[in-house]
Chains A and B, each alone.
Chain A
């Protein structure tokens, strides 16, 4: 089956620093999604990407849909303490019933 690997698995950064994380797949997806999960909560959708090569921003977050359609990247600029959490990528195939597959997650810790 499809597998999504995220890297890094975890990271500690200083407040104000920029963050980069990525997600790679063994197969192609038509849609990439990025979620953030706070402790004790469900994942919350941050950004959705629909086209290969697409670059989309949401505030300090920027995500890109890789040209090969097998990867995606998420960047967070000028990190703040509330960015702490687990970030998940998710891939989705279009057509049919659009099953969503989640990545392994990147745990982000921000040091004030």
Chain B
């Protein structure tokens, strides 16, 4: 299995621009999570999906952030407009409970820098 695949690995953008981060979960996994990691706040859960349905988005910082999961094999996290304080590493993770797998598997992350 290829694992969780995120793209791009690095993104540098100017303040005010739209940023879209992409994630392909492990095939067959039915839960998908978006996390943000910073030195100050550690790993924060932004949103998670179960069977493509958003279950809890209470961690999404504000309306500038949105996430979608149009099908079981793809999810996006969008920031519009981006701000310098959005600079962080964004991780996507997936989990397949029905396989008895209680741990989430993480992608390599997207390092976002907003200048």
Which residues of chain A have a CB within 8 Å of any CB of chain B? Answer: 31, 33, 35, 40-45, 48, 50, 88, 92, 97-105
Chain A residues, Cβ within 8 Å of B45 = 99-102
- In the complex, the chain A residue whose C-beta lies closest to that of B9 is A40
Contact with A along B23-37 (1 / 0, CB 8 A): 000000001010100
Contact B56 A104 (CB under 8 A): no
* Cβ-defined partner of B42 (8 Å) among A35, A92, A98, A105: A105
Q: What 4 new A-B contacts, CB under 8 Å, besides A42-B4, A97-B48?
A: A43-B106, A102-B43, A102-B45, A105-B42
Stretch from B13-21, B63-71, B75-83, B97-105 at the A interface? B97-105
- Whole-angstrom distance between the Cβ of A86 and the nearest chain B Cβ: 9
Chain B 79-115 against A: per-residue CB contact (8 Å), 1 yes, 0 no?
0000000000001010101000011111111000000
Question: Knowing A33-B102, A100-B33, A100-B104 touch, does A42 contact B93 (C-beta < 8 A)?
Answer: yes
Residues of A within 8 A of B31 (CB): 97-98
**Across the interface, do B109 and A41 meet the contact criterion of CB distance under 8 Å?**
yes
Say whether A42 contacts B50, CB under 8 Å: no
Assess the B50–A92 pair: CB atoms within 8 A. Answer: no
Which range holds the interface residue count of chain B? 20 to 34
Which one, B43, B93, B97, B108, contacts A41 given CB within 8 A? B108
Interface residues of B, Cβ cutoff 8 Å to A:
4, 31, 33, 35, 42-43, 45, 48, 50, 55-56, 91, 93, 95, 97, 102-109
Q: 19 A-B residue contacts at CB 8 Å?
A: A33-B103, A42-B91, A42-B107, A42-B108, A44-B106, A48-B102, A48-B103, A50-B102, A92-B102, A97-B48, A97-B55, A98-B95, A99-B55, A99-B56, A101-B45, A102-B35, A102-B42, A102-B45, A104-B42
Chain B residue contacts of A44, Cβ below 8 A: 106
Complex: how many Å from CA A100 to CA B107?
16
Residues on the B chain within 8 Å of A42, using CB: 4, 91, 93, 106-109
